[in-house]
Homo-oligomer: A and B are copies of this chain.
């Protein structure tokens, strides 16, 4: 039998940003590391926390008003002349990001996918910006993960994917059966439906009929320098979770070039892979949530059960609903 994975330790490497109240802690260590609040037009709430090194590196346009006095802010102005505020905001982000791409100050802006993320909880929900730039602005990232499992006579088995060796992030690591970033214009469920077809050849109709929304995990990551950052950025993350029970005749098969292979593993094999740190870090957290919902991790067998459970649902430092605006 495999050793029990060090769940809390694995989670700490995902939910890696300090548990401080960043809205009330203007200084992390000293003034030079105080974050800037990202403010959108006609909305007093802070939608992101921008690291000072980023504020200094980006070439802000006249659409943004940067204030260096405490509380430091980057205020996006309303350039719409009373017309389409959301479109004007998206355009303003696009201009700043385009300059950053052209000047090659952040290598990851080039190499990641050209998809857009929305700003979760914004008063104007269609405001969007380049997915790979989200972390620069400290806004929330949205992903969707679906865990496919099979009930067998030997207990539950889980379909685990292996990421392709050529990927920019976490090459060769183990992954949730189906996962992807949720694009600005789609819902988490629509994301899972198309990713299941593209990544794992699971028919869209079957996913629509059988995938079950079962919550989300939330955490705040400190971005690693492996991406070319020269500083610790703060990234709030939401991962929407779906479960799907597969009959034996539906077998996930790699379709695009992102997944190398799929394995149908029993719990011992999955746990051993967690012990070996073979999973992409946030996929290990998604697996923990699955384990908790399916009675595999319990208060009786895991001393840090409650700490893990509450930390998998960390209160994010940015608004998640427009209704508060």
State whether the Cβ of A112 lies closer than 8 Å to any Cβ in chain B.
no
Contacts of A323 in B (CB 8 A): 303-304
Interface range on chain A (Cβ under 8 Å from partner)? 35 or more
State whether the Cβ of A307 lies closer than 8 Å to any Cβ in chain B.
yes
B306 near A238: Cβ-Cβ < 8 Å: yes
Contacts of A19 in B (CB 8 A): 315
A189 near B306: Cβ-Cβ < 8 Å: no
A298 near B238: Cβ-Cβ < 8 Å: no
CB distance from A10 to the nearest CB of B (A): 15
State whether the Cβ of A299 lies closer than 8 Å to any Cβ in chain B.
yes
CB distance from A6 to the nearest CB of B (A): 11
A214 near B306: Cβ-Cβ < 8 Å: no
CB distance from A62 to the nearest CB of B (A): 34
A294 near B212: Cβ-Cβ < 8 Å: yes
In the complex where A216-B309, A292-B215 touch, is A304 in contact with B316 (Cβ < 8 A)? Answer: no
Q: A213-B292, A215-B293, A216-B299 are in contact. List 16 more A-B contacts (CB 8 A).
A: A187-B299, A189-B298, A189-B300, A214-B295, A215-B292, A215-B309, A216-B306, A218-B309, A303-B321, A303-B322, A304-B321, A305-B320, A305-B321, A310-B315, A311-B315, A312-B313
A213–B183 CA distance with the chains assembled, in angstroms: 33
Contacts of A295 in B (CB 8 A): 212-214
In the complex where A213-B298, A313-B312, A315-B315 touch, is A307 in contact with B320 (Cβ < 8 A)? Answer: yes
The 3 residue pairs across chains A and B that have the minimum distance between CB atoms: A313-B313, A306-B320, A213-B295
Contacts of A248 in B (CB 8 A): none
Q: Give the number of copies in the complex.
A: 2
CB distance from A108 to the nearest CB of B (A): 26
B187 near A294: Cβ-Cβ < 8 Å: no
Residue of B nearest to A182 (CB): B299
A300–B321 CA distance with the chains assembled, in angstroms: 12
B309 near A313: Cβ-Cβ < 8 Å: yes
Query: Which of A295, A312, A316, A323 gathers the greatest number of chain B CB atoms within 10 Å?
Result: A295
A305–B321 CA distance with the chains assembled, in angstroms: 8
CB distance from A7 to the nearest CB of B (A): 12
CB distance from A153 to the nearest CB of B (A): 16
A-B contact pairs, 18 of them (CB 8 A): A19-B315, A189-B299, A212-B295, A213-B295, A213-B298, A215-B292, A215-B309, A216-B305, A218-B306, A240-B299, A293-B293, A303-B321, A303-B322, A304-B323, A306-B316, A306-B321, A309-B313, A310-B320
State whether the Cβ of A181 lies closer than 8 Å to any Cβ in chain B.
no
